């Protein structure tokens, strides 16, 4: 568990472990304002002009605390000068985990805490004040209060994100790139989805327009079957054509022709034996079809 | 905006971008698959349509044959026609064979016999 320290400009303890620091009001400026706006972010946008002319020279950041519906507390702090002050107090940066403002951590109405024999802090009318002890009622000491103190999430610095600020512009750029890429990707997805729908619609239109079988499987099996028929049919016709092209002489004729068991069996009446052999030779040279032609005696 | 909020936003947008990218890949694959399926379907559909046309043509040729050559026997079982021509002369036979060979009619069986001067032709054909 990390230790919590309340830092004043008179702080004289040695910090040698990673700790949380709560800055006393000496380190920042506050202003209580009444504005008719809904969000703290709107107030933050106006912070620079609200503090205009009241702050010393520096690079200020702002934090807004909402008190009531229209009441806000604005805190202005300069991280560079805070870092310099912390260096003066011998607080090494490596031992800082988070830095908080007292304004965010002690905002309980009527709360007072003694810091040492001379000073203390008190919460009055929405603002945490650093005041001489004589003006405060009897209160516990800060060390005791900090022992059980649960800190808020309103820190102004975190070691986890130190150095990241340098890359702020890069972060913005990366964010923009990611958002753009996401948008392009989204558009692409929508385009692809649209294309898929278009293909499906065209398919179903073709089916209904041409009264095709509804499933592709059915269509494919019908085609396969007909292709099989087609191939056999062409083979038979080629063989028949080939046989019928043999030049028969007068008195020669077919007495029988039959297609069975994937072959054509035929019987012919020939004038002599040589003619029969010539026919036999002719049918053996059939290259037009895979169906065999057989001459029967 | 707080720097940490920005970092969280950046991480969230990175996760969103990655998820979108993965989903896009999935949809892209789906699309390619659908496109292939569609091309195959178109191919098969055009084959089927031309097949149907050729069947219609075969039917027309068959009707023509039945009308002109007047078969002695004709029966139909499922898609196949059994036809027997008993009294074909040589000329009729040659003409019939010419039509059959040049048509898209599917010949399942053929049986030719010559009895005296007449030719008997038995056919089993499909469309």
Tell me which DSSP letter residue A291 carries.
S
- A215 in contact with chain B, both atoms CB, cutoff 8 A: no
In this prediction, residue B31 carries a pLDDT of: 95
DSSP H or E stretch at residue A292: strand A292-295
Tokens representing B110? Answer: 């053929």
Q: Looking at residues A249-263, what average pLDDT do you find?
A: 81
Q: CA nearest A267 in B: which residue?
A: B113
Identify the top-confidence range among A217-221, B33-37, B61-65. B33-37
Better pLDDT: A161 or A281: A281
CA–CA separation, B1 vs B8, rounded Å? 11
Better pLDDT: A250 or A7: A7
pLDDT at A164 over 70: no
Q: Looking at residues A36-43, what average pLDDT do you find?
A: 86
In this prediction, residue A193 carries a pLDDT of: 95
pLDDT at A77 over 90: yes
Distance from CA of A230 to the nearest CA of B (A): 7
Q: Looking at residues A37-55, what average pLDDT do you find?
A: 87
**For chain B, the helix, strand and coil percentages under 3-state DSSP, each to the nearest 5:** 65, 25, 10
pLDDT at A166 over 70: no
Phi, psi (rounded to 5 degrees) for B104? -95, 10
Q: Is the four-CA dihedral B58, B60, B61, B66 of positive or negative sign?
A: positive
In this prediction, residue A180 carries a pLDDT of: 93
Which residues in chain B have Cβ-Cβ distances shorter than 8 Å to A203? 38, 41
Q: Does B48 sit within 8 Å of A223, measured CB to CB?
A: yes
Residues A117-149 have pLDDT tens digits of 888 988 888 888 888 888 888 888 888 888 888
Residues of B with CB under 8 A from a CB of A: 3-4, 6-7, 9-10, 13-14, 16-17, 20-21, 23-24, 27-28, 30-31, 34-35, 37-38, 40-42, 44-45, 47-49, 51, 97, 100-101, 104-107, 109-114, 126
pLDDT at A290 over 80: no
In this prediction, residue A70 carries a pLDDT of: 86
Which residues in chain B have Cβ-Cβ distances shorter than 8 Å to A237? 100-101, 107
Contacts of A11 (CB under 8 A, 6+ apart): A5, A89, A91
pLDDT at B2 over 70: no
Better pLDDT: B78 or A209: A209
Nearest to A185 among B3, B20, B104 (CB): B20
Which residues in chain A have Cβ-Cβ distances shorter than 8 Å to B111? 257-259
pLDDT at A163 over 80: no
DSSP H or E stretch at residue B107: strand B106-115
Q: CA nearest B29 in A: which residue?
A: A192
In this prediction, residue A161 carries a pLDDT of: 66
- A265 in contact with chain B, both atoms CB, cutoff 8 A: no
Q: Looking at residues A150-179, what average pLDDT do you find?
A: 80
């Amino acid at each position: 568990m990390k230790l919590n320290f309340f830092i004043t400009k008179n702080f004289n303890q040695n910090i040698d472990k990673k700790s949380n620091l709560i800055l006393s009001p000496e380190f920042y400026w506050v202003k209580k304002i009444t504005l008719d706006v809904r969000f703290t972010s709107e107030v933050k946008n106006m912070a620079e002009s609200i503090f205009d002319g009241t702050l010393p020279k520096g690079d200020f950041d702002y934090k807004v605390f909402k008190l009531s519906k229209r009441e806000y507390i604005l805190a202005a702090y300069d991280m560079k000068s805070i870092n310099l002050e912390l260096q003066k107090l011998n607080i090494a940066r490596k031992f800082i985990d988070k830095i908080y403002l007292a304004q965010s951590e002690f905002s309980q109405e009527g709360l007072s805490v003694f810091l040492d024999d001379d000073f203390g802090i008190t919460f009055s009318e929405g603002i945490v004040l650093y005041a001489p002890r004589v003006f405060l009622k009897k209160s516990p000491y800060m060390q005791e209060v900090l022992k059980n103190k649960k800190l808020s999430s309103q820190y102004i610095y975190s070691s986890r994100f130190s150095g990241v600020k340098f890359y702020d512009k890069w972060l913005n750029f990366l964010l923009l790139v990611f958002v753009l890429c996401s948008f392009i990707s989204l558009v692409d997805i929508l385009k692809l989805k649209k294309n898929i729908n278009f293909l499906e619609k065209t398919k179903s239109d073709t089916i209904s327009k041409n009264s095709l079988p509804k499933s592709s499987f059915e269509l494919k099996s019908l085609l396969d079957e007909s292709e099989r028929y087609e191939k056999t049919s062409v083979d038979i016709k080629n063989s028949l054509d080939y046989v019928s092209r043999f030049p028969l002489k007068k008195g020669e004729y077919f007495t029988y022709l039959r297609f069975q068991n994937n072959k054509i069996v035929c019987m012919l009446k020939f004038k002599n034996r040589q003619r029969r052999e010539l026919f036999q030779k002719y049918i053996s040279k059939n290259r037009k079809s895979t169906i065999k032609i057989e001459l029967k005696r | 905006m707080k720097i940490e909020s920005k970092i969280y936003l950046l991480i969230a947008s990175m996760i969103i971008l990655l998820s979108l990218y993965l989903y896009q890949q999935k949809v892209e694959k789906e699309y390619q698959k659908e496109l292939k399926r569609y091309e195959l379907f178109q191919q098969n559909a055009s084959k089927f349509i031309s097949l149907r046309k050729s069947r219609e043509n075969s039917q027309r040729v068959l009707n023509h044959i039945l009308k002109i050559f007047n078969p002695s026997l004709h029966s139909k079982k499922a898609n196949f026609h059994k036809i027997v021509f008993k009294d074909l002369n040589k000329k009729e036979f040659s003409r019939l064979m010419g039509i059959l060979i040049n048509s898209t009619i599917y010949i399942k069986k053929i049986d030719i016999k010559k009895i005296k001067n007449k030719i008997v032709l038995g056919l089993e054909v499909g469309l």
